[in-house]
Amino acid sequence: MTSKNVGKIQEDTLVNKALARAAHDMRNPLQVISGNADLIVLQAKDATLKFYAGRIVEYAHYLSGIIDDMADFSLDATLDGDVETFGNLILVIQEQCREKAESNAVEVKFEVQFDENIPALVCYRIGRILSNLLDNAINACPGGTVLVRVEKESDTLNIVIEDSGSGLNYDPGLDEPVLSMSRKGLGIGIVCSLVQNLNGKICWKSQPKSRAEISIPL
């Protein structure tokens, strides 16, 4: 390996570490901003205050997606060659969504028929996809149900997330669905980007339930 190539690898490593550190340092204060704005939305009686707090929440989600993309980019090299057990990821996702599901009286059902080791970066990205879609689904169907189904067919991982809330206004000519106000800023764009990064496909279906069907090659 030439000294030029060694220098390039070292430079890339430093960039990755810097991005990871920046993403970490920005995520914590953003969570405080988002969390407090969420409380204002829930407790405020003044419609104007509730509206502006909702805007803060919306753009906090948007910034969170940018930060996650930075972290995702920095992981390309650091997770190269590592593997994770998919079943462990599902346990983490279940725990992450438990509190929000309970507060919204939503029953989340997991039907997972896959528990193999997969590349850590792929596992991380699938985790972000599941987190964003579950957050979306739970918000959209208070008092309802959300189903998460995962199974492997040949060399493809198939994921379905379906909720009993209002359907999506989806035009197949667009890259992503047109969302009602209740679904804006909740990670749909991030999901589309992540699926594309994994060389996968996503299909949105509407009425009478909202349903996302994702296929990811392994």
Give 209's contacts (C-beta < 8 A, 6+ positions apart): 162, 163, 164, 165, 167
The CA-based dihedral angle spanning residues 204, 184, 104, 95, taken in that order and rounded to the nearest 10 degrees? 70
20: pLDDT confidence band, cut at 50, 70 and 90? Answer: low
Classify domain 82-218 at the CATH topology level.
Answer: Heat Shock Protein 90 (3.30.565)
Bridge-based pairing state of the strands 107-113 and 145-153: parallel
Average pLDDT over residues 165-184: 49
Paired strand residues for 72: none
pTM reported for the whole predicted model: 0.65
Contact 122, 155 (CB under 8 A): no
Q: Delimit the domains of the chain by residue range.
A: 1-78, 82-218
pLDDT at 168 (0 to 100): 55
pLDDT at 110 (0 to 100): 96
- When mean pLDDT is compared over 23-27, 94-98, 187-191, the highest value belongs to 94-98
- Strand segments (E) across 33-181: 83-85, 107-113, 117-119, 145-153, 156-163
